[in-house]
Amino acid sequence: MTNTFFVHIIGNSKASLWGISGRARLERMLAASKAAVLVENVSQVAETDTVLLLRADYLFDTRVINAMITLNEHKVLVTPVDETPVAILTDGKNAGVMCEVLSEKQPVPDDLPRGTLKDLPVQVQQNLKKKDPPYVLPIRRCNQAELESELFAASYKGVTDLVTKWLWPWPAFMATRLCVRLGLKPNHVTLLSLVFAVLAGVAFWYGAFGAGLIMAWLMTFLDTVDGKLARVTLTSSKMGDVLDHGLDIIHPPLWYLAWGVGLMTTDTPLNNPELLIWLMFIGYVGGRFCEGAFQFWLASFDIFIWHQIDSFHRLITARRNPNLILLTAGWMAGRPDIGFILVVLWHLLSTLFLLYRLFNAWQNRLRDGELHSWMEGIDPVQDRQQLAVRIFTRLPLSQRYDKPVPEEKERIIR
């Protein structure tokens, strides 16, 4: 195998998903991964070079392509239902013939090993904190809506807070669809969320808690939308990623500070605001330190996917959305001061729990060596009797495909 890895895309889809054709989607996926060189014609490839051939009329999970690239043998990936070839790992010498096979103009050679998704080494998605079964699905006009829903669901983190997990999905799906139709980019949404973040902080500072909460909730909603829009359209950028994550880290403690200052203009000011504000910052920074220390020194994954209890803790941990619930409840009860005190206390309690878990992880690392996420040992399909598996993983659309798509088969046009 040579140092350069090539990919050749065959055909295109007749339907677009989130405004992107199958070929364009694969091209963006490959450009983002930078793991291979895309070639328009297999004649450009030397006989000894490794080539991955992909059908553009199928929707590929990124993990499937990455897994195919890591294989050390030539193999054809087929669908489990009717054994339709969808991807072939081969060399430059046989690439031309294998293109004919992938186009279904020739049968799959008997001596070419066949494999399905179950045969690929697909691991936990560390960036999305989840382990969902991988998918390869046919792109047809009749299943366009289902596939768009599948892509959106796949863009969601498995372990996140309760608001993002259960309140935002449907409205975020509709907002993401609107953004695609209007031609808006993720950075446009991120910048709008930045505006709402600033306005919310200003409103809190002057004691306009109701108006500030409206803008704060709008900001949190848009913070969900921009990430989903980037993932379903494959339009992430370094600047957008830095802006989004930087905003997520900086604005929450500034909101709480502004809220504490705003209480001075109300009938229920804080008795000792400086102490509470300092305790809030200690709790916030301490929690972030625990998360970073775990991943930097003890494991390659997030602390919230270490054990199941950590994933359940992430639903309500002292992050922005759960804290906004406390602030909103305090304001609705006419006691914004109590809302602020609850946020401070929850920060401290949550950070104490994270410190306890960090200490446990350190002990486990010394005793047993490498740490492992609970998600590594589960099967999202077979282990659904476990509550954590049902909550933090999902059954993808591919698990419901027990027969070919009910549409006349489309021949690939090269």
* CATH 1.20.120.1760, the chain: domain bounds: 160-392
Per-residue pLDDT of the chain (414 residues; tens, 9 = 90+): 445 789 999 999 999 999 999 999 999 998 877 778 899 999 888 888 999 999 999 999 988 998 898 888 899 999 877 789 999 999 999 999 999 999 988 899 988 999 998 888 877 777 767 888 888 999 999 999 999 998 999 888 899 999 999 999 999 999 999 999 999 999 999 999 999 999 999 999 999 999 999 999 999 999 999 999 999 999 877 777 778 788 889 999 999 999 999 999 888 888 889 999 999 999 999 999 999 999 999 999 999 999 999 999 999 999 999 999 999 999 999 999 999 999 999 999 999 999 999 999 999 999 999 999 999 989 888 899 999 999 999 876 655 544 444 444 444 433
DSSP structural state of residue 111: T
Cα-Cα-Cα-Cα torsion 150, 156, 157, 161, nearest 10 degrees, comes to -130
Chain position carrying tokens 């193999």:
75
Q: Which CATH architecture describes the domain 5-119?
A: Alpha-Beta Complex (3.90)
- Asked if 103 contacts 48 with a C-beta cutoff of 8 angstroms, the reply is no
Write down the pTM of the prediction.
0.89
The β-bridge partners of 85 are: 78
Environment class of 388 (CB within 10 Å of its CB; exposed 0-12, middle 13-18, buried 19+): middle
Phi and psi at 226, nearest 5°, equal -65, -35
**Euclidean distance between CA atoms 299 and 136, whole angstroms:** 30
Burial readout 250-281 (b: 16 or more C-beta within 10 A, e: otherwise)? ebbbebbbbbbbbbeeeeeebeebeebbebbe
**Euclidean distance between CA atoms 288 and 305, whole angstroms:** 15
Q: What is the pLDDT of residues 194-215, one digit of tens each?
A: 999 999 999 999 999 999 999 9
Would you call 390 helix, strand, or coil by DSSP? helix
Range list of β-strands (E), 66-220 = 75-78, 85-91, 114-115, 136-138
Phi and psi at 88, nearest 5°, equal -135, 130
* CATH 3.90.550, the chain: domain bounds: 5-119
Range list of β-strands (E), 205-336 = none
Cα-Cα-Cα-Cα torsion 28, 225, 250, 238, nearest 10 degrees, comes to 10
CATH number of 160-392: 1.20.120.1760
Would you call 138 helix, strand, or coil by DSSP? strand
